[in-house]
Amino acid sequence: MTHLIVYDTVEGHTRKIASEISNQITATGKTARLFNAETPIGDLSIADFSSCIIAAPVHQKRHPDAIVDFVRANVDALNEMPSAFVSVSLAAAFPDGADDAREFVDHLLQRTGWTPNAIHYAAGAVHCKEYDYFTEQILRHVVLRGHEDVDLTGDQVFTDWAALNTFVADFLATA
């Protein structure tokens, strides 16, 4: 059967993570389908898939409404099938942000009633070239407070791709 990867993205990085997950699945000879939660669901039925991995970014301490809505609409099916959640945040990039990263996920799970079989906290990215002055200041003084050593002159990707690939392989072994 086919594995479903549902994602939403704000700046494009979570789409890259979802694509990497899809590529890893297809490299094993299995089939994967990417689905952007922002698009109309149409005739998509997650019961037609053997598993579901949902990838979502955190912005302003929350996962996107489209992901929350998707999970709520499909929570029974998600809880009956092998499912996994990949939460993408800058908090996950630093050891002192681990509690915040877990809190963001806990909040989503409490709001939706979803109990995924596996959770991965993926470090996100910053795209400094795209930010205006005020966004950069918020990033520097709020989001990255205490991490002044982060270079904000260009894009910075904090994702540990090897850890993500290990997570996906481990999940697929049980799905």
Distance CA 84, CA 60 (A): 22
Q: What does the pLDDT read at residue 131?
A: 66
pLDDT recorded at residue 126: 76
Q: Could you tell me if 43 and 92 lie in one domain?
A: yes
The three-class DSSP label of residue 17 is: helix
Whole domain around residue 51: which residue ranges? 2-124+159-174
Task: Report pTM.
Answer: 0.89
Q: Are residues 106 and 143 in the same domain?
A: no
Please list the ranges in the chain whose pLDDT falls under 50: none
Strand, coil or helix: what is 87? strand
pLDDT value, residue 69: 96
The answer to whether residues 105 and 147 belong to one domain is no
Is the same domain home to 93 and 42?
yes
N-term to C-term CA, the chain: 11
**78 plus 110 within the same structural domain:** yes
Q: Do 117 and 139 share a domain, yes or no?
A: no
* pLDDT confidence of residue 146: 64
Specify the number of domains making up the chain: 2
Whether residue 34 sits in one domain with residue 93? yes
Residue 110 and residue 151 in one domain: no
pLDDT of amino acid 35:
96
Give the closest residue to 55 by CA, choosing from 171, 144, 146: 171
Assign residue 73 the CATH number of its domain.
3.40.50.360
Whether residue 133 sits in one domain with residue 95: no
Same domain, 24 and 48: yes
The pLDDT, as a whole number, for residue 53 is 98
> What pLDDT sits at residue 18?
98
Q: Is residue 99 located within the same domain as residue 148? A: no
Q: Are residues 60 and 141 in the same domain?
A: no
Residues whose CB is less than 8 angstroms from the CB of residue 48 and which lie 6 or more positions away in sequence, other chains included = 1, 2
- Give the model's pLDDT for residue 151: 64
